[in-house]
Amino acid sequence: MSDANNITFTGQLFADGLPLVLNYQVMEQRLKQPRITTGQRLNAEISLNDEISSPIVTLADHDDAEPLLLEFVPDYQGRYALNVKTAGRYFNWQLRLDQSTRHLLAAKSGGSYFELETYAGKLKSFGDLPSNPVSVALFSVEKKMRLFQHETKEGLTYFLDKNPNDTGHNAYNPSSVSFVLRTNPSLLSAVA
């Protein structure tokens, strides 16, 4: 495997046709809506300032929202650290899976490693991408499991590396989430 293929690249992820964003981005957009109730405004303001829910990776409310820009940094073992490159509060933070909730979120340090798999198999380097955009699955290296998508009663969609089915009945087992990855070579790798 050549070093030329193990480059850092940037990209955006989408699920169900919607861009992945941080929860604080969703709350900022909701506060800009002209037709919002006082209750919705208060909930958005609380969530915007909540250190726990604000950095959670979620889906945008609309398909025209600005996607979260991520930097994919290879470790030469086919694993990637994902860094937030969208300007704002969480710029340069790392994506990680929370140790207690297993939710995917942005953190100042201690990022998780992920493997990417396309229909052509595990992605070992940027050069292995079969197309752009491409359908991918994200694997938690720690749990060796694909990420699942789950939604709370309040409508917050989040991603985690454990089965969100708490019922114990296999009829409610979800399938893992299929992401769409849209990439572009990173300016950071060109400078390095």
Structural domain count of the chain: 1
In the numeric block, the tokens 């726990």 are attached to 52
Contact between 114 and 122 under an 8 Å Cβ cutoff? The reply is no
Tell me whether residue 159 is in a domain: yes
Question: What is the rounded average pLDDT of the residues 93-122?
Answer: 91
Tell me whether residue 54 is in a domain: yes
- Give per-residue pLDDT as tens, 146-185: 999 988 877 788 899 988 877 777 766 777 899 999 998 6
Tell me whether residue 2 is in a domain: no
Percentage with pLDDT > 70 across the chain: 92
Cβ contacts of residue 86 below 8 Å, gap of 6+? 22, 25, 66, 68, 69
Give the DSSP letter of residue 172: G
Tell me whether residue 4 is in a domain: no
Tell me whether residue 105 is in a domain: yes
Contact between 12 and 145 under an 8 Å Cβ cutoff? The reply is no
Tell me whether residue 191 is in a domain: no
- Give per-residue pLDDT as tens, 117-136: 988 888 877 878 888 899 99
CATH value at residue 42:
2.80.10.50
**Angle between the N-to-C axes of helices 38-49 and 23-32, in degrees from 0 to 180, rounded to the nearest 10:** 150
Q: Of 84, 74, 180, whose CA–CA distance to 123 is shortest?
A: 74
Phi, psi (5° rounding) for residue 170? -70, -15
- How high is the pLDDT of residue 188? 42
- Give per-residue pLDDT as tens, 15-25: 999 999 999 99
As separate numbers, helices (DSSP H) first and strands (DSSP E) second, the chain gives 3, 14
**β partners of residue 184:** 10
Classify residue 74 as exposed, middle or buried by CB count within 10 Å of its CB (0-12, 13-18, 19+): buried
Contact between 27 and 54 under an 8 Å Cβ cutoff? The reply is yes
Domain membership of residue 28 as a residue range = 9-185
Tell me whether residue 118 is in a domain: yes
Tell me whether residue 1 is in a domain: no
